[in-house]
Chain A
Amino acid sequence: MSNEVSMSISVKEASDLSNQGNIDRRKPDYLDQLEAEAIYIMREVAGQFERPALLFSGGKDSITLVRLAQKAFAPGKIPFPLVHIDTGHNFVEATDYRDMLAEKTGSKLIVRYVEDTIKAKNLKEPTGKNASRNWLQTFTLLDTIEEFGFDACIGGARRDEEKARAKERIFSFRDEFGQWDPKRQRPELWNLFNGRIHKGENVRVFPISNWTELDVWAYLQREGITLPSIYFAHERECILRDGRLLYNTPVIEKDPEDQIVTRQVRFRTVGDMTCTAAVESSAATLEEVIAEITVSRISERGETRIDDQQTEAAMEDRKKGGYF
């Protein structure tokens, strides 16, 4: 017993000492390395393009992007607008957070609505059980890029999310129709990013390409960033469908087999309500969320994204069509 006590003291002292000795900034932690790389990429966008934009969804990845952009350009403001393509089916917690963050950082916020595109272009909206406006965002996004003449759009996609994304460059060239051609990607060498384009073309830039989901959570925790409340456990009325919990909202068409249940849940990703599922959880803090994800045996998109489940190449096809 006395042995244990003295051991725990010596361990504590040792860690205090190592903390003191750990002020050598030339031994960066992996989060510092990822952060430095992302800031470098942000600055390359500001340096190489005339009209960049940051695609902001209110989700944790784009919240991370905003923090990185703040750090990249401090004490100046972020030198590009935040752009949100709103499906009209977004969680109110996420859109409230979006407005608050834009105000706090003094950034210009541009919101364009899928609803308006549907009306203006007379698009046919998908209907039925798993209908989602997610894919229709592409039309609004491309229109918005054209409206403002954006030559670069910064996005929060990560390569660990999905197999097609694992093959995409950090500076990802899109033709004048917004299309991604996986077979004709520009070689991306060292940290030399080639953002040269012709008028009408644009580049999608992914500064956190090399981050994993856990890295994002760990970074948010380290930076002490407050997230929208839906990322933490709360009571919510849900639709139980095919083993998944969807928010019981009027925008989701009900099916006779759906069960309405009230559960304690949190969201692991925050996208359109129609294609983002919740997970049952009691995690109320970032620390608890990280602990749950660390032991989770299911991937982020596998657990929560309904749009990827349709075919083996769902994301590849969407990206070729101009998706984020």
Chain B
Amino acid sequence: MDLLRFITAGSVDDGKSTLIGRLLFDTKNILADQMEAIERASKSRNDGEIDLALLTDGLRSEREQGITIDVAYKYFQTPNRKFISIDAPGHIQYTRNMVTGASNADLAIILVDARHGVAEQTRRHSLIASMLGIPHVVVAINKMDLVGNSEDAFLEIAKTYQDLAQKLNIKDLTIIPVSALNGDNIVDRSKNMPWYTGETLLSVLETVNVLKDKNTTDGRFSVQYVIRPQTEELHDYRGYAGRLQSGSLRKGEAVKILPSGTESKIARIEFGGQEIIEAGVFESVTILLEDDVDISRGDMIVSVDNSPIVSQDIEALVCWMDDRKTLKAGDKYLLQHGTARTKCSVRSIEYQIDINSYEKLDEVESLKLNDVARIILRTAQPIAYDPYQQNRANGAAILIDETSNVTVGACMVE
């Protein structure tokens, strides 16, 4: 059985939490005591109807205000797959949380309120999903019961969305009419919308092919830690602990160490102390080389005939995440890429992207919280990267403020 990570995004009151609650409820993943707790909490509020949204709102202020303010993770499974649901808040000031949640997602569910159609936030969430390279997007047109389960209403919104999607990089798009409140087309097919013959939401979640999304071609291994037991029997042991960011590496394969460019051969690959012949994408292994080369944390071991770009000058899309300081040309940060961390300075802001209209804005002086822009960076040490849209794991980087130590920017290197 495999694992699917998906994010749900939508405007305030689009019913995201209700949708997750509904998925958990209809797949029988809510346990008796959790249900009782929700019933108790529902009774003490407004109308006393059972509010499935209460399943995901974890913090006191969220329950008080009835909104979601931070990324919440929920876990459930069906006989076919295990799921990690990432619930990202729809509130405007929390766009950075959606970027956070989207960075690890295989699939995005974007909720649209059938009464309002494609809204400003739909455009924003779709751009983020596309920018973060989420391979599968499902648009769930929710609250169909409030527009009389009308096929025409659905088709009109679907058409508007498809036009919008043309401007974005969405590889696989599915549009489904649903009612999270009533459970229509979530797990069970709707009796109220006989005109809809497509898949239910759960059926898409269960069958989407995530294996194909992985980059299995570019062998990239970031060194996290050097294992040197220095005991009598393992006196000369020197193992490079890390994870395959993409591709695979084999015993005997010729490799290059970046950024130095030194070449060597893989003598041995181990997992948990046992020898294996080949390591595949996302596996955490230990690599031993034939030659005694100088390698430390932050270096990358790659296939000799398939090299990433090695450069100190990089262009990236950045989503700015700091609410206290802005980003300006000339500012200095730490750039963390893979396991490498290097100082960098902002050469220039090329242009900002209006995340609602998708227009490019020139001559932008500074970026504030939730702004998205294309920037040029100069790093102190060269970094070995692949363009983000080809290789999510090796094209991603974060900016860290050196004084506050806070993560202030999400970079997708181009």
Interface, chain A (partner B; CB < 8 A):
25-30, 32-37, 39-40, 43-44, 46-47, 70-77, 159-160, 163-167, 182-183, 185-192, 194, 196-198, 209-210, 212, 296-299, 302-303, 312-313, 316
Q: Which residues of B contact A296 (CB under 8 A)?
A: 31
In the assembly, what is the distance between CA of A188 and CA of B103, in Å? 9
In chain B between 210 and 241, which residues have their CB closer than 8 angstroms to a CB of chain A? Answer: 211, 216, 224-225, 227-229, 234, 237, 239, 241
Beta-carbon nearest neighbor of A188 in chain B: B100
In the assembly, what is the distance between CA of A160 and CA of B85, in Å? 11
Q: Which residues of B contact A313 (CB under 8 A)?
A: 59-60
Beta-carbon nearest neighbor of B339 in chain A: A47
Q: Which residues of A contact B96 (CB under 8 A)?
A: 187
In the assembly, what is the distance between CA of A210 and CA of B75, in Å? 8
- Could you say which of B41, B58, B61, B283 has the most chain A C-beta atoms within 10 Å of its C-beta? B58
Beta-carbon nearest neighbor of B59 in chain A: A182
Residue B1 at the A interface, CB < 8 A? Answer: yes
Beta-carbon nearest neighbor of A187 in chain B: B100
Q: Which residues of A contact B211 (CB under 8 A)?
A: 27
Known: A26-B248, A26-B281. A77 touches B229 (CB 8 A): yes
Residue B256 at the A interface, CB < 8 A? Answer: no
In the assembly, what is the distance between CA of A285 and CA of B206, in Å? 32
Q: Is the interface of B mostly helix, strand, loop or mixed?
A: mixed
Contact of A75 among B75, B234, B248, B321 (CB under 8 A): B234
30 A-B residue pairings within 8 Å (CB atoms) = A25-B280, A26-B216, A27-B2, A30-B1, A30-B3, A33-B2, A40-B243, A43-B241, A47-B224, A74-B270, A75-B273, A76-B229, A76-B234, A76-B237, A77-B229, A164-B58, A182-B59, A186-B407, A187-B407, A188-B100, A189-B407, A189-B410, A190-B104, A190-B396, A192-B336, A210-B75, A212-B75, A298-B32, A298-B33, A299-B31
Complex contact A302–B3 (CB within 8 A): no
Complex contact B58–A166 (CB within 8 A): yes
Known pairs A33-B282, A212-B75 / 11 extra A-B pairs, C-beta < 8 Å:
A29-B1, A36-B283, A40-B243, A43-B224, A44-B339, A182-B59, A187-B97, A190-B393, A191-B243, A194-B406, A316-B60
Q: Which residues of B contact A165 (CB under 8 A)?
A: 58
Q: Which residues of B contact A198 (CB under 8 A)?
A: 405
In chain B between 37 and 78, which residues have their CB closer than 8 angstroms to a CB of chain A? Answer: 37, 41, 56-61, 63, 69-75
Complex contact A187–B227 (CB within 8 A): no
Known: A70-B272, A75-B273, A298-B32. A159 touches B99 (CB 8 A): no
Complex contact A189–B241 (CB within 8 A): no
9 nearest A-B pairs in the assembled complex, by CB-CB distance: A74-B273, A163-B58, A302-B33, A71-B272, A26-B280, A39-B284, A196-B405, A76-B229, A43-B224
Q: Which residues of B contact A312 (CB under 8 A)?
A: 37, 41, 60, 63
In the assembly, what is the distance between CA of A192 and CA of B411, in Å? 11
In the assembly, what is the distance between CA of A104 and CA of B44, in Å? 52
CB distance from A279 to the nearest CB of B (A): 13
CB distance from B314 to the nearest CB of A (A): 15
Complex contact A186–B58 (CB within 8 A): no
Known: A39-B284, A190-B104, A316-B58. A44 touches B393 (CB 8 A): no
In the assembly, what is the distance between CA of A46 and CA of B336, in Å? 17
Residue B84 at the A interface, CB < 8 A? Answer: yes
Complex contact B392–A190 (CB within 8 A): yes
Q: Which residues of A contact B229 (CB under 8 A)?
A: 75-77
In the assembly, what is the distance between CA of A183 and CA of B58, in Å? 12
Known: A73-B227, A187-B99. A297 touches B72 (CB 8 A): no
In the assembly, what is the distance between CA of A160 and CA of B228, in Å? 36
Q: Which residues of B contact A212 (CB under 8 A)?
A: 75
Q: Which residues of A contact B410 (CB under 8 A)?
A: 187, 189
Complex contact B33–A299 (CB within 8 A): yes
CB distance from A213 to the nearest CB of B (A): 9
Complex contact B73–A210 (CB within 8 A): yes
Complex contact A36–B284 (CB within 8 A): yes
Q: Which residues of A contact B103 (CB under 8 A)?
A: 189-190
CB distance from B128 to the nearest CB of A (A): 12
Q: Which residues of A contact B57 (CB under 8 A)?
A: 163
Residue B34 at the A interface, CB < 8 A? Answer: yes
In the assembly, what is the distance between CA of A46 and CA of B70, in Å? 28
Contact of B278 among A25, A183, A186 (CB under 8 A): A25
Complex contact B397–A192 (CB within 8 A): yes
CB distance from B241 to the nearest CB of A (A): 5
Complex contact A40–B284 (CB within 8 A): yes
In the assembly, what is the distance between CA of A164 and CA of B57, in Å? 9
In the assembly, what is the distance between CA of A47 and CA of B297, in Å? 7
Known: A163-B58, A164-B58, A191-B393. A25 touches B283 (CB 8 A): yes
CB distance from A306 to the nearest CB of B (A): 13
In the assembly, what is the distance between CA of A316 and CA of B75, in Å? 19
In the assembly, what is the distance between CA of A316 and CA of B96, in Å? 22
Q: Which residues of B contact A37 (CB under 8 A)?
A: 282, 284
Known: A189-B99, A197-B405. A166 touches B82 (CB 8 A): no
In the assembly, what is the distance between CA of A64 and CA of B314, in Å? 41
Q: Which residues of A contact B32 (CB under 8 A)?
A: 297-298
In the assembly, what is the distance between CA of A201 and CA of B321, in Å? 22
Residue B276 at the A interface, CB < 8 A? Answer: yes
Complex contact A46–B225 (CB within 8 A): yes
Beta-carbon nearest neighbor of A159 in chain B: B73
Beta-carbon nearest neighbor of A163 in chain B: B58
CB distance from A163 to the nearest CB of B (A): 3
Complex contact A196–B396 (CB within 8 A): no
Known: A166-B58, A189-B99. A183 touches B280 (CB 8 A): no
CB distance from A243 to the nearest CB of B (A): 12
In the assembly, what is the distance between CA of A39 and CA of B244, in Å? 12
In the assembly, what is the distance between CA of A28 and CA of B33, in Å? 33
Q: Which residues of A contact B334 (CB under 8 A)?
A: 196
Complex contact B321–A187 (CB within 8 A): yes
In the assembly, what is the distance between CA of A194 and CA of B243, in Å? 17
In the assembly, what is the distance between CA of A73 and CA of B224, in Å? 11
In chain B between 379 and 413, which residues have their CB closer than 8 angstroms to a CB of chain A? Answer: 392-393, 396-398, 400, 405-407, 410
Residue B135 at the A interface, CB < 8 A? Answer: no
Contact of B282 among A36, A70, A72 (CB under 8 A): A36
Complex contact A43–B242 (CB within 8 A): yes
Q: Which residues of B contact A33 (CB under 8 A)?
A: 2-3, 282
In the assembly, what is the distance between CA of A34 and CA of B242, in Å? 15
